[in-house]
C-alpha cells in the first residue's frame, strides 16, 4: 500500500501494548508473577516497552534462573492474560476509525511477538492496519529505530511524514530515532514533552487534523544544497546506552546528506547506513562515510589503520559529483594540554605537531591523487589539534597545511570571529580534566569541515540535549565525547 504522495501526513504508526490496548498492566502483572516479587519504579526501564527476550535476560541476570525457562514463562503468563483481559484504551478505536475515514494508512508497531499481536488484532480488527511489525520481524526491537523504519518502508512512507503513537520512553526513543514525530500517551510512567513530540493524557479527542499539524514538511531549498557532518562516534558510541539508535536520531535530526565518521569501531558505518537506508564506505577499523546519495568511487587505502583518511566520490545530482574525505589524526601529544597544563610556548607546541602534520600531508597527497579532475572536495575529521585561525599566537601547522593546499575552513567562513563563535567541539562531556584533579578541561575546536570548490551557506556545531559529564554518561542523549560539525554548502552552478 502506498500513501497518497500529496498527503502531509503519510501514515500513523501505533504501538500496541499500553497505547491501543491496556496490556502494559497485564505485562507488568506477568513479569511480577514470573519474578516472584512486586516490581518497583526502579524496574520500569527493564520492563516497560521491552520485548519478552529483553526482560527475560534481565531476570536471568538478577535471579540466576535459566533464560529459556524465564522466556517461556513470560510468554505463557502474558499470552494468557491477553486472551482474557484485552481492553482498548480510551479513544483508540475512535482515532482508528477517524484515520480510516480520512484515508490515512496505519501500522501496528509492537515489541510483542506475532502470536500476542495476533490476539490483540483479533479484538481491534486486523483490517484496521495496513502493516503489522512485531518483535519477530526485525533483528533489533525498540528502542532501536528498526521497527518503525520497517513499517515506513512497508508503507512507502517517509518517516518525517509519519506520526508514531507511543506510551513508553523506550517506544518514543525508537520512533524518534527513526525520524518520526511522536504523540506520547503515557501509561505507567511519565514522558516529557520535547521538540517534535506532543504529550497527551489519552487518545480521547485526538483528530487527524491534530496529527497532520505535527508533521513538519521540509521546504525544498531554492538553492541546491549539500549538508555535510563530521562526527567522532567515540569508540563506536559504546560508552552510551542505546547508542546506535541515538546516532540514527542525530543524523535524522540534523537533516544532513553526508556524514564523515571517525572511531566507528569497525561496524558502525555499515550499521548506520543500513538503519538509514543510505550508501556507505568503510575503511580500516576506524573510518567511514555514509551518504543519502550514491557513492560512485572509493578513495584512499581501504586497509588504513586507526589513524589516517578515507574518501568517497558521491553523486549529488545529475552529472555532479563531490569527493568527501574523512580523517582522524593522532591524539597525542595534545597541544591544548601542553599549553594549559605544561605552559609550553608556541615553538614547542608547533614542533610537537610532527606526527599529525605528517598524517595531514599524507591525506592531502591522497586527495591530490584522487581529485585532479576538478571535482569539488570536502575534508572532514577529528584532527586532534586546534586551528591557526583560532589561536592568535600559535600557527598550528596541521590546519595551515590544509589551507595551503587550497582547503577552506567552513566554520570560520561562517563565523569569522573566534571570540564570538569559538565553535568548541572538545568536549561536551569534559568540563573537568579526566585525572580527577579538578583542573578545568581546555575547550577547543578540533573537528572540522574543510572544502575546496564549494560555497559555504552555514556551519554550526551540534550536540543533542544537555550531556551529563564524564563518567556519568551512559544515559546521555548525545552518544559522543565530541560535538559534531555540520556545514551546508551551495552546490556548483547554484546561484
Strand order in the sheet with 295-299: 295-299, 308-317, 320-328, 377-382, 447-452, 408-409
Cell 551540534: give the residue.
462
Cβ proximity of 74 and 52 under 8 Å: yes
- Cell output for 345: 610556548
Element (H, E) at 450: strand 447-452
Residues in the chain: 495
User: Would you call 15 a catalytic residue per the annotation?
Assistant: yes
Cell 502483572: give the residue.
29
3-state secondary structure 324-356: EEEEECCCCCCHHHHHHCCCCCHHHHHHCCHHH
Beta strands in 167-291 (DSSP E): 181-184, 197-199, 225-232, 258-262, 279-283, 287-291
Active site residue: 15, 17, 323, 481, which one? 15
Tell me the β-bridge partners of 12: 106, 163
Coil vs helix vs strand at 203:
coil
| Dihedral sign for Cα atoms in the order 347, 353, 355, 359 | negative
Cβ proximity of 108 and 100 under 8 Å: no
Q: Which residues are part of the catalytic machinery?
A: 15
Amino acid at each position: 500500500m502506498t500513501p497518497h504522495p500529496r498527503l502531509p501526513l503519510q501514515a500513523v504508526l501505533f504501538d500496541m501494548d499500553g497505547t491501543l490496548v491496556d496490556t502494559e498492566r497485564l505485562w507488568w502483572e506477568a513479569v511480577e508473577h514470573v519474578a516472584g516479587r512486586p516490581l518497583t519504579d526502579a524496574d520500569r526501564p527493564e520492563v516497560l516497552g521491552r520485548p519478552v527476550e529483553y526482560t527475560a535476560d534481565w531476570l536471568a541476570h538478577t535471579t540466576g534462573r535459566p533464560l529459556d525457562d524465564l522466556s517461556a514463562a513470560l510468554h505463557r503468563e502474558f499470552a494468557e492474560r491477553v486472551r482474557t483481559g484485552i481492553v482498548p484504551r480510551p479513544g483508540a478505536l475512535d482515532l482508528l476509525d477517524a484515520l480510516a475515514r480520512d484515508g490515512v494508512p496505519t501500522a501496528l508497531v509492537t515489541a510483542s511477538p506475532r502470536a500476542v499481536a495476533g490476539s490483540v488484532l483479533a479484538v481491534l480488527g486486523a483490517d484496521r492496519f495496513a502493516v503489522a511489525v512485531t518483535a519477530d520481524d526485525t533483528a533489533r526491537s525498540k528502542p532501536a529505530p528498526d521497527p518503525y523504519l520497517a513499517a515506513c518502508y512497508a508503507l512507502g512512507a517517509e518517516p518525517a511524514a509519519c506520526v508514531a503513537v507511543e506510551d513508553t520512553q523506550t517506544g518514543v526513543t525508537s520512533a524518534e530515532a527513526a525520524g518520526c514525530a511522536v504523540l506520547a500517551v503515557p501509561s505507567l510512567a511519565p514522558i516529557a514533552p520535547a521538540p517534535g513530540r506532543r504529550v497527551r493524557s489519552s487518545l480521547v479527542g485526538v483528530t487527524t487534523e491534530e496529527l497532520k499539524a505535527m508533521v513538519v514538511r521540509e521546504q525544498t531549498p531554492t538553492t541546491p544544497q549539500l549538508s555535510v557532518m563530521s562526527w567522532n562516534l567515540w569508540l563506536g558510541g559504546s560508552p552510551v546506552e542505546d547508542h546506535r539508535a541515538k546516532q540514527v536520531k542525530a543524523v535524522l535530526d540534523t537533516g544532513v546528506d553526508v556524514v564523515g565518521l571517525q572511531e566507528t569501531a569497525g561496524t558502525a558505518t555499515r550499521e548506520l547506513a543500513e538503519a538509514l537506508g543510505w550508501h556507505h564506505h568503510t575503511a580500516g577499523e576506524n573510518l567511514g562515510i555514509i551518504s543519502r546519495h550514491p557513492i560512485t568511487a572509493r578513495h584512499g587505502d581501504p586497509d588504513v589503520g586507526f589513524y589516517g583518511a578515507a574518501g568517497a566520490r558521491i553523486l549529488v545530482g545529475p552529472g555532479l559529483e563531490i569527493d568527501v574525505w574523512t580523517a582522524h589524526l593522532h591524539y597525542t601529544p595534545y597541544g591544548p594540554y601542553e599549553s594549559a597544563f605544561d605552559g609550553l610556548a608556541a615553538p614547542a607546541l608547533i614542533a610537537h605537531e610532527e606526527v599529525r602534520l605528517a598524517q595531514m600531508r599524507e591525506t592531502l597527497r591522497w586527495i591530490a591523487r584522487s581529485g585532479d579532475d576538478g571535482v569539488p572536495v570536502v575534508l572532514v575529521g577529528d584532527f586532534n589539534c586546534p586551528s591557526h585561525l583560532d589561536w592568535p599566537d600559535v600557527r598550528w601547522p596541521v590546519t595551515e597545511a590544509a589551507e595551503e593546499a587550497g582547503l577552506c575552513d567552513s566554520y570560520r567562513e561562517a563565523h569569522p570571529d573566534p571570540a564570538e563563535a569559538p565553535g568548541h567541539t572538545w568536549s561536551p562531556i569534559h568540563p573537568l580534566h579526566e585525572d580527577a584533579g579538578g583542573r578545568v578541561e581546555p575547550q577547543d575546536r578540533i573537528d572540522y569541515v574543510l572544502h575546496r570548490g564549494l560555497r559555504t551557506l552555514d556551519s554550526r556545531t551540534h550536540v543533542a540535549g544537555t550531556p551529563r559529564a564524564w563518567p556519568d554518561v551512559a544515559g546521555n542523549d548525545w552518544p559522543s565525547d565530541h560535538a559534531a560539525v555540520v556545514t551546508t554548502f551551495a552546490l556548483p552552478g547554484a546561484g
